[in-house]
A = this chain, B = another copy of it.
Amino acid sequence: MDLRVVGLTHVYAGAPVLQDIDLEIPSGRILCVVGPSGCGKSTLLRMLGGLERPDAGAVLQVGEPPEGCLNPLTYIFQDFALLPWRSVAGNVALALEDRRLGRAEIARIVDDVLARTRLSAYRDALPRQLSGGMRQRVAIARALAVRPACLLMDEPLSALDAQTRELLMDDLVGLWLREGFTACYVTHNLAEAVRLGHRVAVLSRRPGRVREVIEIDMPLEERAERMPELAVHERRLWQLLREEAAAADQELADV
């Protein structure tokens, strides 16, 4: 299932946020999106998932989601969006409850994803009893539980410690290798972007436009070992962002 963004434009209360975005996420590929804070990345992701209607343009899905996939387009929210009244297991189960799965099947899936996100010991804890990083892992576990065809991830690893992040990144790569999902991955961490993205789209400052899309050919599974070779891409991204920031500073100075 490919996703295609065509001429997408959005305006919040008179202020344009996204302008003429054209993007393509071919089936089984990961698109990373980077850009200055407030440039509209989260907004773009909401439109990809059908949670918001663009003012102009469209998000198209080409082809069918694969078998066994419970929720084709699945989010990981920037602010986690956990139900405070449900335990960790309950929050994960929520995503499965409308799917006509047996109780036992649900329990099995929940156990599985909690183990993969190293949360088994916190099954029955309430969100308020968890640390920030643990909450984010619950949100990731919930997303993994529905076997998504396309994952829409809004800085999914930002609150995690380096170690867990590394592990989950490996996990994501492994998952991708096994299941070949499509993904749009918003991040601020350029190392993450070059590690996970088949392509990296750089958005300009608000109103967000696509400034450049960088292709990275190296297979995902090799990247962990060949990080130094990726540095060139990281530097290129860094430079693009720096230019954006400089331009923004210029604007502010003009005001």
**Interface residues in chain A, defined as those with a beta carbon under 8 Å from any beta carbon in chain B:** 12-13, 34-42, 78-79, 115, 118, 120-121, 129-134, 137, 154-155, 158-165, 167, 188-190, 238, 241-242, 244-245, 248-249, 252, 255
Contacts and interface: CB of A to CB of B under 8 A. Distances in A.
Most chain B beta-carbon neighbours within 10 Å: one of A134, A238, A245: A245
A242 B163 CA distance: 6
B242 A120 contact: no
Contacts of A134: 37-38
Contacts of A241: 161-163
Given A159-B155, A162-B190, A132 B79 contact: yes
A133 B154 CA distance: 12
B78 A132 contact: yes
B120 A252 contact: yes
A39 B132 CA distance: 11
A155 B132 contact: yes
A131 B42 contact: yes
Nearest to A118: B252
A15 to B, nearest CB: 9
A135 B4 CA distance: 30
Contacts of A34: 161-162
A188 B120 contact: no
Given A162-B189, A252-B121, A129 B12 contact: yes
Best-surrounded residue of A36, A242, A249 (most CB of chain B within 10 A): A36
B162 A255 contact: no
Nearest to A115: B252
B252 A132 contact: no
A36 B164 contact: yes
Given A36-B164, A37-B132, 9 more contacts: A34-B162, A35-B161, A37-B160, A37-B164, A38-B131, A78-B159, A120-B252, A158-B158, A162-B188
Given A38-B130, A38-B131, A118 B248 contact: yes
Contacts of A244: 163
A34 B245 CA distance: 29
A134 B130 CA distance: 24
A161 B133 contact: no
Contact of A167 (B42, B189, B245): B245
